[in-house]
């Protein structure tokens, strides 16, 4: 689909742990909200460094810890209670690199230099509570291998209206702060 949408781009398919490029191919490497899903994160960072020129830079974005994103923490607790730990863990997955020190250490251990982790706050906006929750239940959870029965989805959708009510604006829009960590690092 990407090739169809932008045929002028030289698209390459590969895995983060084995990038399909020669050593020292790029001045800059960027990963936006992907590192938390890589099978071997340290190896993926090694690969980022391998394909960078000496002095090259990388920028990586990951979500903050779920404990710092109250609406998602509340939704995970709801999933744990109604559907069990596997469902809750599937929704926890995007937030597993939220510890800033551990994140910086991951880059340092991989050989990156000048590692800096900053946290930025940004607004998350959804047309409604139902839109967010349904997208997570019918979209994200199945991607993570968790398919909920329809009666559980209905129960979660109903209870989520109450659980997430503090984040609903006057126009029924769901709005909350969504912090992300931005890692910048260099290759020696």
Angle 158-162-167 from CA coordinates, rounded to 5°? 120
Residue 100 in any domain: the answer is: yes
In a domain, 15, yes or no: no
CATH code (residue 62): 3.40.50.150
The confidence score (pLDDT) of residue 180 equals 98
Rounded Cα gap, residues 129 and 174, in angstroms = 6
Query: 131, 120, 134, 130: which is closest to 177 by C-alpha?
Result: 120
Domain assignment of residue 13, yes or no: no
Question: What integer pLDDT is reported at residue 2 of this predicted model?
Answer: 86
- The runs of H, that is alpha helices, within 37-144 are 41-51, 70-83, 85-92, 100-110, 129-135, 141-143
- The predicted model gives 94-120 an average pLDDT of 97
Count the domains in the chain: 1
CA–CA separation, 15 and 151 (whole Å): 37
Q: Is the pLDDT of residue 15 over 90?
A: yes
pLDDT at 112: 97
Q: Which domain holds residue 63?
A: 27-186
Q: What percent of the chain is predicted at pLDDT more than 90? A: 95
Report the percent of the chain where pLDDT is more than 70.
100
């Amino acid at each position: 689909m990407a090739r169809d949408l932008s045929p002028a781009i030289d698209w390459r398919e590969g895995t983060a742990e084995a990038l399909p490029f020669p050593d020292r191919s790029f001045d800059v490497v960027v990963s936006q909200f992907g590192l938390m899903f890589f099978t071997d994160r340290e190896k993926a960072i090694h690969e980022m460094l391998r394909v960078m020129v000496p002095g090259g830079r990388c920028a990586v974005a990951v979500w903050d810890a779920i404990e710092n994103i109250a609406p998602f923490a509340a939704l995970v607790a709801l999933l744990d209670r109604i559907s069990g730990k596997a469902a809750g863990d599937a929704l926890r997955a995007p937030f597993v690199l939220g510890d800033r020190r551990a994140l910086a250490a991951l880059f340092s251990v991989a050989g990156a230099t000048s590692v800096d982790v900053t946290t930025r706050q940004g607004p998350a906006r959804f047309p409604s509570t139902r839109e967010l929750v349904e997208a997570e239940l019918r979209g994200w959870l199945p991607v993570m291998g968790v398919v909920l029965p329809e009666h559980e989805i209905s129960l979660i959708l109903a209870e989520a209206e109450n659980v997430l009510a503090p984040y609903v604006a006057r126009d029924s829009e769901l709005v909350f702060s969504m912090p992300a960590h931005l890692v910048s690092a260099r290759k020696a």
